[in-house]
Amino acid sequence: MEDKIINEQDLENWRRTHYSHQVNGSTIDKLIIIMGWISSKRDHGNVLFIQLRDKFGDIQIVVKKGKENSENRVFDILKNLKEHSSVGIKGKVVEQKKSPNCVEVIPHEIKVLSVSAKSAPFLTNSISTIGIDTRLELRALDLRRNYLQNIFRIRFTILNSVREFLTKNHFIEVNTPKMISTATEGGAALFPIFYYDKEAFLAQSPQLYKEQLTMAFENVFEIAPIFRAEPSRTNRHLSEAISIDIEKAFVNYYDIMDLLDELISYIILRTKEVNSIELKNLDIELSEIKIPFPRHTYSELIDKLQKSHKYIRWGDDISPKILKDVIGDDFYYIVDWPLSTKPFYVKSKINSDAAVSKSDSPVDSSESENMMVSESFDLMFGPLELSSGSTRVNNKNVLLDSMKKKGLNSAAFDYHLRVFDYGIPPHAGFGLGLERLIMALLKVENIRDTTFYPRDIDRLTP
């Protein structure tokens, strides 16, 4: 019996009449068709208890070895089907106080739609005990696990709430090209492409395009993949990630931080409304957050850190590890970073005109330039960087000067610089990593479990 081959059948005219959550007291005595995969199976010899899972949950199927041929056929098939197999069940709903939704289904007919030929390494209710790499090899199956189901349902709510919030705030969604001719941030960590007969790269961010689009649309956002040839093997880096990018005209980085505060607040509000069940399943309590989030200047933090870490100097990047010593485990900003640590398009905090005239002067001003501060922020959650934003340079001469200082070949950016001849408004914006935001909100340890099919230096499949 164990090895008996069960033939898969075509769907033909069978269609689901009810999803699992629609099978309840109101459907008692009705003949229904349900479809799904076997999430668990208890075999009591002549009685089988099957949990059939669909996208809304489980429904209990009870089948006994019976007197009639049709009953026995269903019994034999279900007895031999492994968990994860997909079936259609035509059956009657009966009351069953002990089952979770107070009903169960007595099958009359079964259609085997897809047989699980192997014993799966995990079931839908498995808590992860095997390594993530083993799970990722069977990712589609892994995603059937309750833990990941909860995460990805919340992920959908987060995306929806971002779009709702930005639409209400007069943003328009755009899509910018992912195949580009030059590096935005200077060349490191790019994936090269063969673009017909030309060299090209995958976009690390939509930065220059979203800035340009403020010319025509003022407030734009994009939710799309970004690509970084990130050599590090960590729990918080991906080679392909989803970035929530916004850019807004006629504002500076303070306005953008206000907006980001409200966005995060709205995401949490909506997630609590929509996903109370999933949050409970994950044992996550999203507390009320207080905005504005604290804004610490970079210089203040360096001063504090120097008390315990004497080797740190103004101008250094701040490593997440040492941040723990001075900051709590919640949302906060680090603002006014040294200009030298930021890309060429980030605006200096002093007046732009002054910056240009200084660089034109024959006096060596490299010392004071190294001390220049930028109109920039990072949104952090404990040691995790979630978002980076800034006021951008919108004057062509300042931008050219900044590129020169960063050692970039401005000729390669001609396609970008040329629109700065036509009155591009002042603008500011941020990029927010979707996966990292999910990690922060849901306490997910490995960023790979916040994305469907993670990509990293070691992984290109599935």
Window 140 to 179, contacts with a copy of itself (CB under 8 A) = 140-141, 143-144, 148-149, 152-153, 156, 159-160, 163, 167, 170, 172-179
- Select 228 or 296, whichever has its Cβ closest to a copy of itself: 228
Size of the site for a copy of itself (CB under 8 A): 106
Residue 116 burial (C-beta neighbours within 10 Å; 0-12, 13-18, 19+): middle
Nearest approach in angstroms of CB 211 to a copy of itself is 9
Stretch that binds a copy of itself, among 7-15, 62-70, 257-265, 361-369 (CB under 8 A): 7-15
* Residue 55 interacts with a copy of itself (CB under 8 A): yes or no: yes
Task: Determine the Cα–Cα distance for residues 108 and 71; give it in Å rounded to an integer.
Answer: 6
Task: Determine the Cα–Cα distance for residues 326 and 29; give it in Å rounded to an integer.
Answer: 64
Q: In the range 258-317, which residues lie near a copy of itself by CB under 8 A? A: none
Q: Which of 15, 44, 67, 168 binds a copy of itself (CB under 8 A)?
A: 15
Task: Determine the Cα–Cα distance for residues 321 and 312; give it in Å rounded to an integer.
Answer: 13
159 φ, ψ to 5°? Answer: -60, -45
- Select 202 or 264, whichever has its Cβ closest to a copy of itself: 202
Amino acid at 119: S
Task: Determine the Cα–Cα distance for residues 364 and 357; give it in Å rounded to an integer.
Answer: 12
Task: Determine the Cα–Cα distance for residues 11 and 90; give it in Å rounded to an integer.
Answer: 13
Nearest approach in angstroms of CB 75 to a copy of itself is 19
Report residue 456 as tokens.
């990293």
Classify 351 as helix, strand or coil: coil
Nearest approach in angstroms of CB 74 to a copy of itself is 17
Nearest approach in angstroms of CB 390 to a copy of itself is 14
- Select 95 or 255, whichever has its Cβ closest to a copy of itself: 255
- Select 86 or 374, whichever has its Cβ closest to a copy of itself: 86
* Residue 424 interacts with a copy of itself (CB under 8 A): yes or no: yes
Q: Which of 25, 66, 100, 425 binds a copy of itself (CB under 8 A)?
A: 425
Task: Determine the Cα–Cα distance for residues 60 and 12; give it in Å rounded to an integer.
Answer: 24
Nearest approach in angstroms of CB 147 to a copy of itself is 12
- Select 326 or 372, whichever has its Cβ closest to a copy of itself: 372
Task: Determine the Cα–Cα distance for residues 204 and 433; give it in Å rounded to an integer.
Answer: 12
Nearest approach in angstroms of CB 451 to a copy of itself is 7
* Residue 132 interacts with a copy of itself (CB under 8 A): yes or no: no
Q: Are 93 and 103 in contact (CB under 8 A)?
A: yes
Measured in residues, the chain has a length of 462
Nearest approach in angstroms of CB 54 to a copy of itself is 7
Task: Determine the Cα–Cα distance for residues 401 and 353; give it in Å rounded to an integer.
Answer: 11
Task: Determine the Cα–Cα distance for residues 442 and 285; give it in Å rounded to an integer.
Answer: 9
Task: Determine the Cα–Cα distance for residues 219 and 165; give it in Å rounded to an integer.
Answer: 13
* Residue 54 interacts with a copy of itself (CB under 8 A): yes or no: yes
* Residue 137 interacts with a copy of itself (CB under 8 A): yes or no: yes
- Select 141 or 286, whichever has its Cβ closest to a copy of itself: 141
* Residue 395 interacts with a copy of itself (CB under 8 A): yes or no: yes
Q: Are 175 and 243 in contact (CB under 8 A)?
A: no
Q: In the range 311-370, which residues lie near a copy of itself by CB under 8 A? A: 351-353
Q: Are 202 and 227 in contact (CB under 8 A)?
A: yes
Q: In the range 26-45, which residues lie near a copy of itself by CB under 8 A? A: 35-38
Q: How many Cβ atoms are within 10 Å of 365's Cβ, its own excluded?
A: 12
Q: Which of 71, 185, 218, 262 binds a copy of itself (CB under 8 A)?
A: 218
Q: Which of 32, 120, 274, 384 binds a copy of itself (CB under 8 A)?
A: 120
Nearest approach in angstroms of CB 321 to a copy of itself is 26
Report residue 424 as tokens.
């591009």
Contact residues for 459 (Cβ-Cβ < 8 A; gap 6+): 136
